[in-house]
Structure 1
């Protein structure tokens, strides 16, 4: 399967304009799963922070990280304006050990599918260092049911199971969609939003 790995500049340019995934509210799949998400929360690849802020408002001690300064600055401004105590840091998701902290839950909204095969393995290992045993990762990624074309890699269920074969247990995978900005000139994806997999993955207890 083609890797189609976007560059850092791609994301910088997206945030300089109107990133199609930056919809000004949390992704619906995380709102739907909110009751399953417990304790201290890490939002990996948080962008401008809408998912983080949703969970902070629900009372979760929340940390969001992203490798770009611009969306993190926006997330901090939003948190201050809304009076929410979420923390935001500029950080490479492959260096999560530098957080010096562990979390009960983690969310990944469209980060997993941007990595090369090599970096995907590093990413999963990095997550295992910061999600406590028994904690869970809630992940949405592009599905291989989405027709080939622009955008990130399409991911199969088999690839998800393979990536999380060690130190994790895939509890569930279901079909979902990303909500994107409703701009017909900007979205080359399926009508109704790109097809996705929503996964619940538990960190092994020992």
Structure 2
């Protein structure tokens, strides 16, 4: 079931990148997924991973969560579709004097690293990935991790009333609501679930979400 019409329903991948870049470039304030305090899941992961872990933020936006890890001493790489978001992320890190963080404009479906990361996380990106692109998304996870690496994920849970489906957000982007089992199946090649919690997304915490931690096997 799909509710509404999204830019990603009828445009190509390049146009979708332009759409996301425009959202950041034209934003006069915070976007719906940008919250004032560091999300509890980010704080939890920072406590769980070991000192010195190399961290990758998939879809880092303007870099707030990545800066949290960098501020704790972790070496961090953040990638995002949006050149505008990455430009702001770099400027913010420079103002804070963080020299252990790198931001790159890159597609999460295409990104490859010469060295695997110890911890990769996705805070609110997977639910924007279409079913057709899931294989590419998983390939990115496999290419950026090694046996023993951890992968954290926060994404929208079931639709209101239960079950999976797709709706269009207020900014024109498709949001895919998947069940816990559907997410586990997507990631079943090479990853095993370590932790699972229910959570909330959005500035007011109005949307049910999944909070996962996986380990690469």
Q: 142, 155, 160: which one pairs with 1:141?
A: 155
In the TM superposition, structure 1's runs of 4+ consecutive aligned residues that sit over 6 Å from their partners are none
RMSD of equivalent CA atoms: 2.1
What is the deviation of 1:194?
A: 1.7
Query: 2:2 and 2:47 mapped to 1: Cα distance?
Result: 36
Native 8 Å contact 1:24 1:50 kept in 2? no
Which shifted more, 126-135 or 146-155? Answer: 146-155
Distance 2:23 2:7 in 1: 15
What CA deviation, in whole Å up to 9, does each residue of 1:69-101 have, x standing for no partner?
00000100110001112100011111222x322
Alignment pair present for 1:196 and 2:209: yes
The residue number in structure 2 matching 1:174 is 197
Matched residues, number: 193
Aligned positions of 1:1-206 closer than 5 A: 1-2=1-2, 6=8, 7-15=16-24, 16-17=26-27, 18-38=30-50, 39-85=53-99, 86-97=101-112, 99-146=113-160, 149-151=167-169, 152-180=175-203, 192-204=205-217
Q: Given the two structures, how large is their TM-score scaled by the length of structure 2?
A: 0.81
SS class of match (1:96)? coil
In 2, distance between residues paired with 1:192 and 1:54?
Answer: 20
Sort the Cα spacing of 1:24 and 1:88 in 2 relative to 1 into closer, same or farther, 3 A. Answer: farther
Q: Any stretches of 5+ residues in structure 1 without a counterpart?
A: 181-190
Q: Is the 8 A contact 1:47 1:71 kept in 2?
A: yes
Report the counterpart of residue 12 of structure 2 in structure 1.
none
* Cα contact 2:2–2:167 (8 A) shared by 1: no
